[in-house]
Amino acid sequence: MIGGFHLQNASDEILNQTGEYFSQLDVDHIHPCHCTDLAAKIHLSKFSSIKEVGVGLVLNYPL
């Protein structure tokens, strides 16, 4: 899952709810983009594997 999850200065409650949601989706890993601060990335890493995102990143998915 790739996205700007808008989790900047988010409460633990919101981070836990978001992490549980990602767990229910059973995604292999997430790519948190804009508006997701380091604290949120660390917290979400308890629920899913976190992958970095940056300028020039290319992701290829099989069809």
58-1-19-35 Cα dihedral, nearest 10 degrees: 60
The DSSP annotation for 12-56 comes to HHHHHHHHHHHHHHT-SEEEE-TTB-HHHHHHHTTTSEE----TT
pTM exceeding 0.85: no
In this predicted structure, what is the pLDDT of residue 6? 94
Instruction: Specify the amino acid at residue 3.
Output: G
pLDDT tens column, 16-63: 999 999 999 988 889 998 899 999 999 999 999 999 888 888 888 888
